[in-house]
Amino acid sequence: MNEERQMEYRKQIQKVIEKGPYKPDWNSFSHWRPPHWFSEAKFGIFIHWGLYSIPAYSNEWYSRNMYIQGTKEWEYHRKTFGEHKKFGYKDFIPLFTAEKFEPNEWAKLFHEAGARYVFPVAEHHDGFQMYRSELSCYNAYDCGPKRDVLGELKEAIEKENMVFCTSSHRAEHWFFMGHGKEFDSDVKEPMKRGDFYWPAMPEPDFQDLQSNPYPSEEYLDDWLLRTCEIIDRYQPSMLYFDWWVQHEAFKEPLKKIAAYYYNRAAEWNREVAICYKHDAMMFGCGIVEVERGKLADAKPYLWQTDTAIANNSWCYTDTLEYKTSRQLIQNFVDIISKNGNMLLNVGPKGDGSIPEQDKKVLKEIGAWMHQNAKAIYGSRPWRKSEEGNTKEVQGQFTDQKEVAYTKEDIRFTTSGDSIYAFVMKYPTNGEVTIRSLAVSKDQNAPEFHGMIRSVRILGFSEEPNFRQDEMGLHVKTHSVASDLPVVIQVQIC
């Protein structure tokens, strides 16, 4: 996109903002509401796949860390690929041919896993665009695979009746390649806008939201144009921003992007949302996001956690530490009981194939999801989200360890005429007491005062015995056994 075309595009963006119902002011978003489809969907798939999948070493920050002298990535790169000035990060582009990339197979697998929406990363911190772009030639359509990866995934995802979403992690590129200027590497001046490594500035203090070097107006303009290009070309139903957009410099362009995106959605007659972390947006203007963690209590607002199948990387590496399907499902159950959604990341290999362990975990999750679909999709939190003594840990980066649940730990959702009780660790003797469904001792302030019509166990043919007293609803089964959460459907008259 030449300068003249960029100028025209800026005018178009401004025109859409001026004509639409949303303006670049947080007050203007007060009548925005989260999409209905998002509250129904509960489970989505995140995809981290790009140039970093070729070295497949350590994690998706390889492009930054390989230029920091003395790091394990720096040493690995020199040993495996040679000196940085002769083989830099850009030299992975010709190796990224994606010869085994089959978007329809990906989409079928994600659908089988029970996902209702999918979030491929459009551009990560490394600056390589996984989509067709007019703003830089360093994209998957013009080099590397020479395919519009994002466009092909959108088509495949929608063919499987899932919702297409996407994310931009471009903001951090301001400094991501900056360490390459500290020694003799291929990251060197002169650089200009549109170059792969541009601008490669010194790394700021991540915790300082006003840190220098302050992103330049030229860089912020480029970020805005790239994001709007994604919005217009692919019309995602949800847009996700990673962490550095909370920096003060991004506040004004982020408001413009939000206004532009929400106004475009009004033109499309679509419900959309922006996911954000770290209070980057004013509360109520988008979906609150918690990275690799969750909220400990039920909330009156929708929220989302993004986490990964592996503990130690978002992208594929040959040293992944996988979570079990049980750990992921238990985490998911706790999240939806508290009005949240879970976005689960997979990392395809550099050639475009999905690792076998990822497939195994996704299929195990899918089997459980389909068995218990009535308690999940379209459900809402009940008046109580949980019972039991196990305390949940709140906050980011808190989901690496598997929680030791007991038979006392139960999570709740509700849908239609039923309350669904998820027994997090089903007892081997088949005896469960749901204390929240006890006959109330206080008729003036009952915790539960409904009449129970029937009790069923989702996915099992056995009709359980049940009785209710002041201690709770007692359920007894003989043949029900599972290492995964078991769902008891309590139908109310």
Q: pLDDT in tens for each of the 493 residues of the chain? A: 899 999 999 999 999 999 999 999 999 999 999 999 999 999 999 999 999 999 999 999 999 999 999 999 999 999 999 999 999 999 999 999 999 999 999 999 999 999 999 999 999 999 999 999 999 999 999 999 999 999 999 999 999 999 999 999 999 999 999 999 999 999 999 999 999 999 999 999 988 889 888 999 999 999 999 999 999 999 999 999 999 999 999 999 999 999 999 999 999 999 999 999 989 999 999 999 999 999 999 999 999 999 999 999 999 999 999 999 999 999 999 999 999 999 999 999 999 999 999 999 999 999 999 999 999 999 999 999 999 999 888 899 889 889 999 999 999 999 999 999 999 999 999 999 999 999 987 766 567 888 999 999 999 999 999 999 999 999 999 999 999 999 999 999 9
The distance in angstroms from the start CA to the end CA of the chain is 63
The per-residue pLDDT for 444 is 60
- DSSP structural state of residue 301: S
Q: Are 410 and 384 in contact (CB under 8 A)?
A: no
Give the Cα separation of 326 and 402 in Å (integer): 9
Distance CA 265, CA 268 (A): 5
pTM for the complete prediction? 0.97
d(CA 233, CA 183): 39
Task: Say how far apart CA 167 and CA 160 lie, in whole Å.
Answer: 20
Report the distance separating Cα 453 and Cα 356, nearest Å: 44
Cβ–Cβ under 8 Å, residues 343 and 119: yes
**Nearest by Cα to 464 from 486, 436, 492:** 486
Does residue 342 contact residue 335 with C-beta atoms inside 8 Å? yes
Question: From edge to edge, which strands make up the β-sheet containing 431-434?
Answer: 431-434, 472-476, 465-469
